[in-house]
Amino acid sequence: MYKYILLLVLTIATTSCTGMAKIKNRHHRAPFEKQIEKGEYTITLYEINYPEKYEEKLEFYRNFDILMKKLLVYDSTVNILYPERLRADILELENNLLLPEEDYFAKSSSELSQVGRDIIDKKVDIEISNDLGRTQYYLNKQVYFWQIVLNKETNIQKNYSELDKERLVLEMKTLRKKIFEISNQVDLTSILKIEKPYSVDTDNYWQEKDVYIDRKSELAPEILKSTNYIFVNNVKKIDVEKIMGEQLKFDSKIVIIQNNLYDGYTVVDGKYVFFTGGKYNTDYYEGYHIKIKVKDVTLEELLDIDDDLLISDFLNPNLYKERQGK
């Protein structure tokens, strides 16, 4: 009986050791060994703040234009981490090249609702003769608004036409269009930061999409189905373990998980999941130790940054190799 128990104990011990060995040898051979050398890499994500006030947004886009031109001229590369509010405004700009705050200033003055007139009065608080009539009164305020935004001379008492306003709106749209045209030529890797991954925002643009809700997790469904590169903030331990166990999968090819458990990365179905903030190191490819670092910067500070390695280079190693040869 004693020999039987001893044999059972030894069998369990041997099995446990074998299991540990398997965990230690989970590394895979990287498909990009010829393009990216083995070693330790720290990828810095530069987090930019997006203002809430309209006037500060205008300054933001002026600086963004300067940044895009610099990146294009000097062929610079950078990893940018941006907030959801910027994403929402970008979607508006892609639709009609106007910010949400500008909508009522582009509408026909004769078709303005009371809400629209109230917004214009609050934004453009200047003295105008009421003798102009209501339609002309608000048209003049709309024109004045665009003249100020575009740094043009103003004459509030002149009787402007809708055509005058349309010319100003078109000028603004042309400037915005040029920014997008330049940014599309820049080697820019942008990552969307999800601050509250467990909250469901009824105003979120994802609510209008046909998104399957995965009941395995309390994570907002749009996170799992997003195709943008995403940074998910404060992910719960239970979900981190499900991600590591491949019970939770993402549609995005690059996901960064901020958590308290792991630090490193894994690869699932050819898609990269990076972990940052945890105490246990994890690597997927043999000889490649990759860490994520987040740094707050202004757009002005980004002018002096040129990253050697983009987070997307592991998906497109040939582009990385080409840059190294320049």
The domain spans of the chain are: 30-97+188-324, 100-180
Q: What pLDDT does residue 26 have?
A: 63
Q: Which of 150, 233, 195 is nearest to 50 (CA)?
A: 195
pLDDT band at 40 (very low <50, low <70, confident <90, very high): very high
pLDDT at residue 160 tops 90: yes
* Element holding 230 (H helix, E strand): strand 230-232
Question: Which range is least confidently modeled, 14-23, 181-190, 223-232, 294-303?
Answer: 14-23
Crossing angle of helices 134-149 and 162-183, rounded to 10°: 30
Question: 221: helix, coil or strand?
Answer: helix
Angle at 248 between CA 261 and CA 288, to 5 degrees: 55
66: tokens are 């300067």
pLDDT band at 5 (very low <50, low <70, confident <90, very high): very low
Quickly count: other Cβ atoms within 10 Å of residue 112's Cβ: 20
Sheet holding 230-232, edge to edge: 280-282, 262-268, 271-276, 254-258, 230-232, 188-194, 78-83, 39-48, 288-297
Greatest Cα-to-Cα distance within the chain, rounded to the nearest angstrom: 109
pLDDT at residue 122 tops 70: yes
Question: CA–CA separation, 235 vs 219, rounded Å?
Answer: 8
